[in-house]
Amino acid sequence: MGQLALFLVLPRVNRGIQFKPINVRVWYDDKYTHKIEYRQNDPQAEKAIKQAHSWNVKPESVKQHFPNAKHGSVLFEVTALKNPDFAKSTITNAKVRNIASDGLILSTTLWRYLHLRGYVNDNHRLTPWGDALAKSLETLEPTVIKHASVPGLYEAVLLAFELLRFHLLHTNNQHPELNGLPMNGTEDEKGSLLLISRCTILLKLRHQANGYTGPLSKNFLTFRSLSSSVRESCRDLFEAIVASLFLYAQADRQRDDYLHIGQSMPFLTDTDVALGIAVKTFLDDINPNESAEQKAVKKDEFQGKFVPYATHFHDDLEIAFDFFNAIHAGVKTLGKEMLHGDKGIWDKAAAYLQLRR
């Protein structure tokens, strides 16, 4: 994604910067090297720019098809492309000019991101990954409406799909040498809880300003570092898309809402690991044969014992469960894009959660 971001911006900067080789190094491997060199007529760069510049959405078209559009929500941008007439109206071969409103800038940035990342094809219709993303977003919508004060739930779904496509959101690479893995049940049950917990690491536990005093997990901190790196790369691409939009003079530059635009794009803030640890600790102590009353007692006792400074623990727990089920709903729609065995792991995890809710 970093290379995509560079290809969108470099053609419009000083030539001294434009053609300077970029040497990439990573902290975990001293021997790793990778060089990024931009050249005019580079096929990857031309493809990225062509895809981005194929989007020109007119405000009247949005108003006609979606009078109550919520620009920048992710849900609107993804589900809007299920309308074939609207999708067709967004395609252009002409130069894009005069995008004025902040809402349309946010939506255009999101549509370009979805196209560059393969959720949308060149006809501006959803690909199988885009359909799966839409299904997950729509499944989560009632939860988002119910908990309207909780930000970032839709963008967490998008991050989950990015992790899925990087083969990071699964039960592999458990790192048993690090403490904090599930302890109870069969190997399948431990794997199911690990997958559920990794999903909820993408959310936040609402907490008082006091320092965190709950359980710890080196294992989950490791996964959180991976998810955080992907989130940062996604954010870089979003910023590059909106920067290129202004660099190519496709949007009005004389404006006073740049800060608002930047703060309204997805992946502005990082997540933490606390909710993932809390979900793992709670579910690991639930026996599926316990009665509903016994489970309710454990839920009521859990906050005071493990996360005493959480402010909305019961709500956050329900959001976490609904979030996992929403991702699972999208995964079930995938065909050859995901191995059958991998889908089976998600089915087992969904069954595991259902018995313990």
pLDDT tens, position by position, for the chain (357 residues)?
888 898 899 888 888 788 888 888 888 888 998 888 888 788 888 999 999 999 999 999 999 999 999 999 999 999 999 999 999 999 999 999 989 999 999 999 999 999 999 999 999 999 999 999 999 999 999 999 999 999 999 999 999 999 999 999 999 888 888 788 888 899 999 999 999 999 999 999 999 988 888 888 999 999 999 999 999 999 999 999 999 999 999 999 999 999 999 999 999 999 889 999 999 999 999 999 999 899 999 999 999 999 999 999 999 999 999 999 999 999 999 999 887 778 999 999 999 999 998
User: According to the model, what pLDDT value does residue 212 have?
Assistant: 84
User: According to the model, what pLDDT value does residue 114 have?
Assistant: 98
Nearest to 202 by CA among 298, 144, 136, 270: 270
- CB neighbour list of residue 228: distance below 8 Å, 6 or more residues apart: 270, 271
User: According to the model, what pLDDT value does residue 14 have?
Assistant: 82
Nearest to 74 by CA among 260, 238, 244: 238
Measured N-to-C along each axis, helices 218-247 and 153-165 cross at an angle, to the nearest 10 degrees, of: 100
User: According to the model, what pLDDT value does residue 25 have?
Assistant: 87
Structure tokens belonging to residue 318: 């329900």
User: According to the model, what pLDDT value does residue 42 have?
Assistant: 83
**Can you tell me the distance from the alpha carbon of 280 to that of 352, in angstroms, rounded to the nearest whole number?**
12
**Can you tell me the distance from the alpha carbon of 221 to that of 97, in angstroms, rounded to the nearest whole number?**
45
User: According to the model, what pLDDT value does residue 11 have?
Assistant: 85
Distance between first and last Cα of the chain: 37
- pTM here is 0.94
Integer angstrom CA distances of residue 171 from 132, 167, 278: 20, 10, 18
Question: Which residues share a beta bridge with 126?
Answer: 120
Nearest to 257 by CA among 73, 32, 67, 105: 105
Residue 156 dihedral angles phi and psi, to the nearest 5°? -65, -35
Which run of H or E residues covers position 25? Answer: strand 22-26
**Can you tell me the distance from the alpha carbon of 137 to that of 316, in angstroms, rounded to the nearest whole number?**
18
User: According to the model, what pLDDT value does residue 339 have?
Assistant: 79
Residue 8 dihedral angles phi and psi, to the nearest 5°? -75, -30
**Can you tell me the distance from the alpha carbon of 254 to that of 270, in angstroms, rounded to the nearest whole number?**
30
Nearest to 47 by CA among 146, 121, 139: 121
Nearest to 133 by CA among 152, 109, 117: 117
Measured over the CA atoms of residue 137, residue 143, residue 149 and residue 151, the dihedral's sign is negative
User: According to the model, what pLDDT value does residue 161 have?
Assistant: 98
Nearest to 79 by CA among 117, 101, 107, 103: 107
Structure tokens belonging to residue 227: 């998810």
- CB neighbour list of residue 96: distance below 8 Å, 6 or more residues apart: 53, 55, 56, 248, 250
